[in-house]
C-alpha cells in the first residue's frame, strides 16, 4: 500500500448494529439507491471488486464511494472493509494496494499481525512501549460517563500488560502531551469504538468511544471492547481477516501460518463466531508474547 494509505489503515472500529448482533456481518453500509438491486453485502463486494480491478477508472471509484459510510459525516473519510477509515484522496492508492503482495499480515497463533512495508507493525523499542494516554474530558456527556470509560480502559490495558509482564508495555495516564487521546463522539449509527495502528500518523492517534459504548444495554463487555481496540493499538488485525462467511470483507492480502480459530479477542461477533466478552484467550497471550519478546510470529500450538 502507498505510504499514506498504509498509515490510514491503522484506524479500526468495532461496530454493532442496534437490535441485531447478526447484523455485524453488514459492516459495509450502503445507500438506499442500491438496496433493491441486490443484497447490500453483495453490492458492496461487487463494487469493491470492480474498483480494485480498475482503480484508475473514476466511474468505478465513484460507484464504490457511493456505498461507503463517511465517518464522521463531512470529514471526507470513508469506511472500507468495515473497519478501516481512509481519506477520499487515498482511495485510489488503497484500491491499488489490495493487489500489492508487499502488504500482508502474518498470523501468530490466534493473533494476526499487521505488516507495513513487509515488516511487523508493532512497538519495537522499550521507549516506544511506554504508551501514555489522556482523555478529552470535555467531549464526554457527563462526569460519570468519563469515569466509567476511564475505569474500563484501565482494566483493559491491565489485561494486556498482564498477558506479557516481561514485554515492557505500559499504559500511563497523563494530563499533558499524551501519546494518544481517548475521546467521546456522540455518533449513534452503531459504531462502538475505533482506534489506530502503530503505523498511524500522530493526527490519527485517538481511541474513540461512541454513544453505544455508554449505553446501558450494550451487549458486549465494555472492557472487552477496549481490549479489542488496544489490540489494534498494539498492532493486531482481526482474526476474521480470512473472509469468514458472515463477517466483513477484509480485502488486504495476508498470509496465514496457523489454522483459523474463532474466539480470539480480535474476532468480531460475526459469522456465528466470536464472543461478547472479547477476552484475551491463552493463544492470544502466547502470540502476543512471541511478537513482543522475539519480534517474530510463533508457530501454532497443536
pLDDT at 127 over 90: yes
Find the range with the poorest average confidence among 3-7, 43-47, 98-102, 218-222: 3-7
Q: Residue 87: which residues within 8 A CB-CB, separation 6 or more?
A: 4, 8, 76, 77, 78
- Output the pLDDT for position 196: 86
pLDDT higher for 72 or 43?
A: 43
The closest of 291, 288, 27 to 161, measured between CA atoms, is 288
- Output the pLDDT for position 27: 31
pLDDT at 11 over 60: no
- Output the pLDDT for position 136: 97
Helix (H, G, I), strand (E, B) or coil at 251: coil
pLDDT at 147 over 90: yes
- Output the pLDDT for position 69: 74
How far apart CA 30 and CA 40 sit, in angstroms, is 6
What distances in angstroms separate CA 230 from CA 207, 225, 242, one per listed residue?
A: 9, 9, 21
| Mean pLDDT of the chain, nearest integer | 75
- Output the pLDDT for position 161: 98
Burial 165-202 (b: 16+ CB within 10 A, else e): eebbbebeeeeeebbbebbbbebeebbbbbbbbbbbee
- Output the pLDDT for position 137: 98
How far apart CA 29 and CA 41 sit, in angstroms, is 8
Element (H, E) at 285: helix 282-294
What distances in angstroms separate CA 147 from CA 150, 218, 274, one per listed residue?
A: 5, 17, 28
- Output the pLDDT for position 102: 41
- Output the pLDDT for position 233: 94
Between strands 191-195 and 130-135, the pairing is unpaired
* Helix/strand/coil (H/E/C) assignment for every residue in 144-169: HHHHHHHHHHHHHHHHHHHHCHHHCC
pLDDT higher for 289 or 299?
A: 289
Average pLDDT of the residues in 145-153: 98
Cβ burial of 242 (10 Å; 0-12, 13-18, 19+) is middle
Average pLDDT of the residues in 235-257: 49
- Report for 40-54, 87-101, 239-253: range of highest mean pLDDT: 40-54
- Output the pLDDT for position 80: 66
pLDDT higher for 89 or 132?
A: 132
- Each residue's pLDDT tens digit, 112-126: 787 777 788 899 999
Contact 201, 24 (CB under 8 A): no
Q: Does the predicted TM-score (pTM) go above 0.75? A: no
User: What domains sit in the chain, N to C, each tagged with a CATH number?
Assistant: 3-97 (no CATH), 105-186+197-294 (3.40.390.10)
Contact 189, 225 (CB under 8 A): no
- Output the pLDDT for position 149: 98
- Output the pLDDT for position 300: 54
- Each residue's pLDDT tens digit, 57-116: 999 999 999 988 787 778 888 876 555 667 888 888 778 766 553 444 566 656 778 777
- Each residue's pLDDT tens digit, 170-222: 999 999 999 999 999 897 766 788 888 898 889 889 998 989 999 998 888 99
How far apart CA 27 and CA 37 sit, in angstroms, is 19
How far apart CA 19 and CA 229 sit, in angstroms, is 22
Amino acid at each position: 500500500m502507498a505510504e499514506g494509505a498504509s498509515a490510514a489503515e491503522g484506524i479500526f472500529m468495532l461496530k454493532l448494529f442496534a437490535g441485531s448482533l447478526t447484523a455485524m456481518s453488514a459492516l459495509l453500509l450502503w445507500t438506499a439507491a442500491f438496496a433493491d438491486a441486490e443484497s447490500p453485502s453483495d453490492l458492496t463486494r461487487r463494487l469493491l471488486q470492480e474498483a480494485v480491478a480498475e482503480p484508475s477508472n473514476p466511474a468505478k471509484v465513484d460507484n464504490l464511494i457511493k456505498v461507503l459510510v463517511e465517518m464522521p459525516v463531512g470529514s471526507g473519510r470513508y469506511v472500507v472493509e468495515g473497519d478501516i477509515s481512509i481519506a477520499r484522496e487515498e482511495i485510489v492508492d488503497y484500491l491499488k494496494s489490495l493487489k500489492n503482495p508487499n502488504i500482508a499480515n502474518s498470523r501468530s497463533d490466534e493473533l494476526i499481525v499487521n505488516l507495513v512495508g513487509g515488516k511487523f507493525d508493532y512497538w519495537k523499542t522499550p521507549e516506544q512501549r511506554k504508551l501514555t494516554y489522556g482523555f478529552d474530558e470535555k467531549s464526554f456527556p457527563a462526569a460519570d460517563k468519563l469515569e466509567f470509560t476511564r475505569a474500563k480502559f484501565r482494566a483493559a490495558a491491565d489485561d494486556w500488560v498482564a498477558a506479557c509482564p516481561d514485554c515492557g508495555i505500559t499504559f500511563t495516564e497523563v494530563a499533558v502531551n499524551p501519546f494518544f487521546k481517548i475521546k467521546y463522539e456522540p455518533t449513534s449509527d452503531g459504531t462502538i469504538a475505533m482506534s489506530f495502528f502503530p503505523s498511524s500518523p500522530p493526527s490519527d492517534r485517538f481511541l474513540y468511544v461512541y454513544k453505544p459504548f455508554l449505553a446501558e444495554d450494550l451487549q458486549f463487555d465494555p472492557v472487552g471492547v477496549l481490549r479489542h481496540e488496544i489490540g489494534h493499538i498494539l498492532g493486531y488485525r482481526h482474526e476474521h481477516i480470512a473472509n469468514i462467511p458472515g463477517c466483513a470483507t477484509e480485502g488486504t492480502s495476508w498470509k496465514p501460518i496457523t489454522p483459523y480459530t474463532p474466539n480470539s479477542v480480535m474476532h468480531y461477533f460475526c459469522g456465528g463466531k466470536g464472543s461478547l466478552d472479547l477476552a484475551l484467550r491463552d493463544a492470544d497471550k502466547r502470540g502476543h508474547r512471541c511478537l513482543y519478546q522475539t519480534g517474530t510470529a510463533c508457530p501454532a500450538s497443536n
